[in-house]
Amino acid sequence: MGAPFPNVPFSMPMFRKFVPPRIRPWIYVFMAVSFQFSGGLYLGTLNQMMGETALMREDLLMCLYANLGGMAIYFPLLFRMKFRFTNKTLLCSAATGVLFCNALAPHVTSLPLLWLICFVEGMCKIQGTFECMSNIQLWMTPKRDFTVFFPVLHVVILGSMQMSDLLATYLMYYYHWSYMHWFMCGVMMVDLLILTVCTRHFRVIKKYPLYGIDWLGALLWAVLCLEITYFFDYGDWYDWWNSEVIRKLAVAIVLTFGLCLWRMFSVRHPYYEPKMWTYRYLLPVLILITLVEAFLAVEHVLEEIFYEEVMHYEEMVSVRLDWLAFFGMITGCLFAYWWMHIKRFPYVRLITVGIIMLGCYLVGYYFLLSSDIHISQLYLPVACRGFAYAVLSTTFMVCLEEIMSFQHFFQALSVFNILHMFIGGVIGAAVYTQGMSFYMADNMARYGQKIDRVFFGRELFDLPHYMENFVSAMMEISIKQIYGWVICACMLLLWLFLLYDAPLRRELKQMPGWRSLRKEIVDTLKKTRR
């Protein structure tokens, strides 16, 4: 993909003269990290929020998905905003938006309004991150090499994401869940102070108006994504097709999708252009990232059930595993940099390495999950999960950059992140939740047959204690069964990748047809008679 700008020496003229040139890029790195620390709501505080507010887990997860949706849907507008406004204007508006959204979120009780706040916060978050990282791209890689830029970008994104959850958990445990929001308000005030004092309005290129943007198309795609998310997030709570709400929502999804397609093919400049979908290898990349995210959704369903219901871990115990995931992610980004930039090895094989590490995580949990284990035994599988997530995320984004032109790259990046950030995960979570419901009922019925009058006739039989252990054991068995199915699916995906990349595949002959075989046999017989 060609670079949108010519290669020019790195400079940051938006800073005032008194700011030393050496620390200018680091100031933007700090602000990028601060934007990535922010969120509408925070995953580490869900349990305390459910206990203190009237919101269910599905309500809070929908807020998180709305925040991710705001980030993903905004990608096609990033460069248009950069060409229209100055860097200082965009960063100040993004920091102000994050500040107000974090100040309002703890006090809003209306769910639609809370979803809107989280959605807007996601747009501000990605706008601030993009402005910071795009202005220091030449500092990181003077040749605009994306095999350098994307691994470093994911160090910032994934590292900040994991550390944000850690910080939110610690603040919730020692103080209150709302303290994370106030902390982010303070950080945004620091960003605004730095921008006000140290930067000035500066334009690299001539101002380009916001002309030809399909605002209605963007709204329709955003509504479609939120409808799909709502469908899978609340499906189990509404009992799926037995609920009139889910049936009506399914019809609404089909109608909205039809409107999106109609607008994409009818307007001159649609939000997602039809030509964007025609690039070779785009659909395989989108399918693969959806499958990977569905596999990784076991973290937010099966792992949480195991920690809370089987092991009865408190937040400060289970949060120890997040440190291993953090180190695994950083190691995965550095490994991807070494593989793609230093060694220049094939991308397909790096994806294979990521899937192997994902399989190691799943297999590790399958064999280790037990109420008798120590938490330290889970350190290695969690590190493998973080490593696999970092490697696959980085590699898929580099592959996407390689196959797309710059004209359609950010449109494809938006679709990629819609599937990568929340659609793939919410679909996987819905499948695992439904699987837990089925296997729990099945296992309770199968193993419950052994509870008969002989058990109740014992003199020292403690029924409450026995039932508590019985339910925990059934959960453990059900989790293992679902992990087994996910391992099978992951191994099938790995087998397909190995088959695709095998050198033998290019040496095999095509199987001849029956007519060709018949003609060859007849010719052979004729030669034999002669």
Structural domain ending residue among the three candidates 164, 196, 213: 213
Domain match, 122 and 152 both:
yes
pLDDT in tens, 323-353: 999 999 999 999 999 999 998 888 888 999 9
Residue 380 lies in a domain: yes
Q: What is the pLDDT of residue 3?
A: 43
Domain match, 256 and 110 both:
no
Domain match, 427 and 485 both:
yes
CA angle in degrees (0–180, nearest 5) for 411-414-388: 130
Calpha distance 477→471 (Å, rounded): 10
Residue 475 lies in a domain: yes
Calpha distance 11→14 (Å, rounded): 9
Residue 460 lies in a domain: no
Write down the pTM of the prediction.
0.88
Residues of the chain with pLDDT under 50: 1-6, 502-514, 517
Q: What is the pLDDT of residue 208?
A: 78
- Residue among 116, 124, 106, 103 at smallest CA distance from 34: 124
Residue 108, C-beta contacts closer than 8 angstroms, at least 6 positions apart: 114, 117
CATH number of the domain that 376 lies in? 1.20.1250.20
Q: What is the pLDDT of residue 528?
A: 53
Q: What is the pLDDT of residue 250?
A: 95
**Do the Cβ atoms of 74 and 122 come closer than 8 Å?**
yes
Residue 519 lies in a domain: no
Domain match, 172 and 314 both:
no
Which residues face 15 on adjacent strands?
Answer: 199
Q: What is the pLDDT of residue 151?
A: 93
Q: What is the pLDDT of residue 457?
A: 59
pLDDT in tens, 110-168: 899 999 999 999 999 999 999 999 889 889 888 888 889 999 999 999 999 999 989 99
**Do the Cβ atoms of 305 and 434 come closer than 8 Å?**
no
Task: Give the position of tokens 């160090």.
Answer: 155
**Do the Cβ atoms of 106 and 180 come closer than 8 Å?**
no
Reduced to 3 states, what is the DSSP secondary structure of residue 370?
A: coil
199 phi and psi, to 5 degrees? -120, 165
Domain match, 375 and 323 both:
yes
**Helix or strand run (H / E) with residue 492:** helix 463-501
3 DSSP assignment: -
**Do the Cβ atoms of 233 and 245 come closer than 8 Å?**
no
Q: What is the pLDDT of residue 509?
A: 38
Domain match, 304 and 384 both:
yes
Residue 89 lies in a domain: yes
Q: What is the pLDDT of residue 523?
A: 65
Residue 98 lies in a domain: yes
405 φ/ψ sector (left φ>0, alpha ψ -120 to 50, else beta): beta
Q: What is the pLDDT of residue 518?
A: 53
- Residue among 353, 422, 322 at smallest CA distance from 115: 422
Calpha distance 516→529 (Å, rounded): 20
Calpha distance 221→271 (Å, rounded): 9
Structurally, the chain folds into a number of domains equal to 3
Domain match, 45 and 94 both:
yes
Q: What is the pLDDT of residue 451?
A: 67
Look up the domain containing 370 and give its range: 279-447+470-501
Q: What is the pLDDT of residue 496?
A: 84
Domain match, 407 and 360 both:
yes
Domain match, 266 and 341 both:
no
Calpha distance 337→359 (Å, rounded): 22
Domain match, 409 and 443 both:
yes
Calpha distance 384→317 (Å, rounded): 19
Q: What is the pLDDT of residue 479?
A: 92
Domain match, 68 and 196 both:
yes
Domain match, 130 and 69 both:
yes
